[in-house]
A and B are shown apart, each in its own frame.
Chain A
Amino acid sequence: MTKKVLIAAVSAFALAGCATTGSANTAGDDSGSDDAPRFAAKTEAEGPFPSTYSAYPGAPTALVGATVYDGAGNRIEGGTVLFRDGKVEAVGGSDLSTAGYTVLDGSGKFVTPGIIDIHSHLGDYPSPGVDAHSDGNEATAPTTPDVWAEHSVWPQDPGFSRAMANGGITALQILPGSANLMGGRSVTLKNVPSRTVQGMKFPGAPYGFKMACGENPKRVYGGRGRKPSTRMGNFAVNRQTWYDAINYANDEDAKRDLGKETLKGVLEGEILVHNHCYRADEMALVMDMAKEVGYKVTAFHHAVEAYKIGDLLRENGVCSAIWADWYGFKMEAYDAIMENAALLQQEGACVVIHSDSQNDIQRLNQEAAKAQAAGKRLGIEISDADVIGWITLNAAKAMGIDDMTGSLESGKMADVVLWNGDPLSVYSRPEKVWIDGALMFDAMDRKRRPVSDFELGQPGEGDVK
């Protein structure tokens, strides 16, 4: 009894202490003007859940002798990549001085920027994929713009380390699922192991906003006997929601509303729209809706029919994030073809290869190679250097982080993969992966691979996966 009282007293004291120092309550300070509210949460602009990621230590490193794809469309034979203090210092030929760097001979090997997956559900649908872990779809209302994917991410998902070790993934966007027309905010992560999701958050990355058109929302809600049950219902709900958001954004006295704050962020261009949409005709309608409302679609995801409207996508500046060979698993995927990426590239539209899969994220390089080869058979030649851009710089552009990562250019984050062979070959694998210049995976060193808390003490712990 005494003990309980003591604890209660201590915690009361601790709370008081927090109240006086917590920044969330500064606005409630009694010394302010009489008009100031007593309580106020952090504003959207103040950024709750800030990134706590900081780069791990790395040695100044010179990768020499390898074939370098810089992610921006260039290929350098026998190239040199220099990085120090987390940044790319220089990329060039064998004439670059390596004095002051730890020199790594990459002869016969390849260097690319870190691979980026624009469409992942790691952490939100982690392994093991049991119901208790199913945190990717807030499938309780057709629009849930108020939810944030980062609040579902389980940083211990073993999928993160596989994506790094087998796929060279250094950054990835975690999206809410596609049950809802508006699924909520995405979060962009650095692919580093961390105790908290904030420790993975990509510093300075804009938020994304997940939307979905087509079969999924109408199936999920139509199946419950409620709107939307049709594609026209999808659009009706979307448009009304946007009109309401416009009213909110125009009203300076509006009460805070989590969902509308996100929609306002989209209208202001601060939050990038990632729209799950398969069919060409439907993408065209969505682009018209975006013009009607006054927002921009950054990328269509799963755009299996993008090849039918490459011109329209180019004119509207919308990227297509696509698979190489997924086919026929649902009606709106019936016209998927392997030449999709190449036809888009030919039309001058933006191509990103994405995974939407805990397995394919481990081999995005192979998926890109498949898409390239399909184009080649059709007579569309796309250079290897450009194809690497599909899974590096183009992904970064569509995620709004291309001024920081996605290519090997001076001043950018040293997110780098050393491959033991041509990354567009099935026989090649990442040998080393650096994130902000820190060596986070090394195939030659068993201890340089992360083992998540979940895997400790389990059969296969630390196994070479």
Chain B
Amino acid sequence: MKRLLTLAASAIALSASPLAAQDVVITNATVVTGDGSEPIENGVVVVENGRVTYAGSTGGRSFASDTVVDAKGAWVTPGIFATVTTLGLVDVGAVSESNDSRAGGAPFSASLDVAPAVNPNSQNILIHRAAGITRAATTTLPAASIFAGQGAIIDLDADGTPIVKARAFQMVDLGEGGARRAGGSRAATYTLFRASLREARALSGTGTPQTTEITVDGEVLLNRFDAEALKPVIAGTQKLFVAVERAADIRSALALKSEFPRLDMVLVGVSEGWMVANEIAAAGVPVLADPLDALPTGFDQLASTQSNVGRMKSAGVKVGLNAAGMENPRRLAQQAGNLVGLAKMPGASGLTWAEAFASISSIPAEISGMGGIAGVLKQGALGDVVIWDGDPLEVTTVPTKVYIGGVEQPLGSHQSRLKDRYRDLDESDLPKAYDW
């Protein structure tokens, strides 16, 4: 193997050795590190043994490696980190047999574990890989109870082993949806939530478990396995994603921190976050927000505004974009771009370009427990690198190359094959079925 010539730092990254990872140097790049700093012209990204060893200005040095890619000035960024998603759980949304995102008929809720259910060959994985998404937080959604279950961090590479971190977070719905599932009101939601955590605490060794099952009309809202699964939530070793929109609901969710001080809480949705932005900032709780919600789609989102993200950011809240709040996760870049455009509007609050890119890369990665490892190009981070055919936040732009863990990825899919087959409608020799 041909070694890098110039980088002394390279030795550091040699410990882990992913399969098939080729060392690669991308030169002549407009490098976006993803941490919120400005793009670096004429930069270079070096990946060795699946990890980034350098990303920054070329500094007049020259580089060599197994593979040298001249980006010819193109934008080079960390892979987009999509969260919250159901990537890998759904082939076709309306085909229930192919859709593992909800388990409304199951007696389990918090104990559901998404890890064994993720299908790395799902077309949704392939399509989103080709859109520059390299890692995602993926989870089942609340169905039988207020608890969604335990989500995983996945990669979108082609090696068939998508799970990066199993049981990375638990999700709970403390908004309108949670209220319906808990029995009809927010009061029921909080009672169920507290009862659940009390059981988990008892099972952790402080107190006596009181019940084996919490049910309503034969529907199981929490059983012993679910309570058991909440032990790491109570201990703060597993993140708790809290779906919540209304300002008052956000306050109530934040108040849980005083009752359960070790909760490692993340707020998801948060349409009315700007109204309580200072309180969210003071609590040090990060947010995954729906960036373009501008409508009172429910009575818990009356104050929705596209300035929500910008205002929370100004108040000091750590804000990433919530992939669940859009038509599909490949729209993350488009939505980030919209926040840049919004910044130019009188009276509105948006983000700078660099902040916007961070909101779909390093920040969601940090919020998902992958800080410094994913969504960022810096020494030691995973070699998730994307070369684009234009400004990555423009709607017209797509990746030309995608590396995950230092491995260049195939970008084809069912969609790309259809596109190629129907490039023309010529069937003069044979039907289209022979065109493959």
Residues of A bordering B, CB below 8 Å: 127-130, 158-159, 162, 166, 215, 307-311, 325-331, 333-339, 343, 347, 357-360, 362-363, 366, 369-370, 372-373, 376-378, 420-421, 424-429, 443-444, 446, 454-455, 458-460, 463-465
Contacts and interface: CB of A to CB of B under 8 A. Distances in A.
B5 interface: no
Interface stretch (B55-63, B132-140, B190-198, B333-341): B333-341
Given A307-B422, A429-B341, A460-B302, A127 B297 contact: yes
A308 B432 CA distance: 10
A378 B423 contact: yes
A358 B295 contact: yes
A217 to B, nearest CB: 14
A330 B303 contact: no
Given A325-B330, A460-B303, A465-B305, A429 B342 contact: yes
Nearest to A428: B341
Contact of A327 (B341, B397, B415): B415
B396 A372 contact: yes
Nearest to B423: A378
A377 B304 CA distance: 36
Given A427-B340, A463-B305, 9 more contacts: A311-B425, A325-B328, A327-B415, A331-B95, A426-B394, A428-B341, A464-B307, A464-B346, A464-B348
B49 to A, nearest CB: 33
B92 A359 contact: no
Interface residues of B, number: 56
A408 B296 CA distance: 34
A463 B295 contact: no
A100 to B, nearest CB: 29
A162 B295 contact: yes
Interface of B: 90-95, 123-124, 127, 247, 272, 275, 292, 294-299, 301-307, 327-328, 330-331, 334, 337-338, 340-342, 344-348, 389, 393-398, 414-415, 418-419, 422-423, 425, 432
8 contacts: A128-B297, A325-B331, A360-B327, A362-B294, A424-B396, A429-B341, A455-B296, A459-B272
Contacts of A421: 341
Contact of A426 (B341, B348, B425): B341
Given A325-B331, A360-B327, A128 B296 contact: yes
A212 to B, nearest CB: 15
A369 B396 contact: yes
Contacts of B303: 458-460, 463
B99 to A, nearest CB: 10
Contacts of B296: 127-128, 158, 454-455, 458, 460
Contacts of B340: 426-427
B94 A426 contact: no
Nearest to A459: B303
Contacts of B304: 460, 465
A93 B357 CA distance: 39
A378 B348 CA distance: 37
Given A366-B334, A369-B395, A465 B294 contact: yes
Contacts of A377: 389, 398
Contacts of B425: 308-311, 347
B345 A443 contact: yes
A362 B295 CA distance: 11
Nearest to B422: A307
Given A327-B127, A443-B346, A337 B337 contact: no
B93 A330 contact: yes
Q: Which of A325, A326, A328, A444: most chain B Cβ within 10 A?
A: A328
A377 B294 CA distance: 32
A225 to B, nearest CB: 19
A463 B397 CA distance: 32
A326 B425 CA distance: 23
Contact of B422 (A343, A426, A464): A343
B94 A215 contact: yes
* Closest A-B pairs by Cβ, 7 of them: A460-B303, A426-B337, A373-B396, A459-B303, A330-B94, A427-B341, A329-B93
A339 B272 CA distance: 37
Contacts of B294: 162, 166, 362, 465
A446 B347 CA distance: 8
Contacts of B419: 337-339, 378
Contacts of B327: 325-326, 357, 359-360
A362 B425 CA distance: 34
Contacts of B127: 327
Contacts of A446: 347
B272 to A, nearest CB: 7
B347 to A, nearest CB: 4
Contacts of A376: 396
A362 B341 CA distance: 14
B94 A329 contact: yes
B91 A328 contact: yes
A326 B306 CA distance: 22
A337 B415 contact: yes
Contact of A464 (B298, B345, B415): B345
A136 to B, nearest CB: 15
Contact of A328 (B92, B338, B418, B423): B92
Contacts of A328: 90-93, 123-124
Contacts of A362: 292, 294
Given A366-B334, A465-B305, A329 B92 contact: yes
B337 A129 contact: no
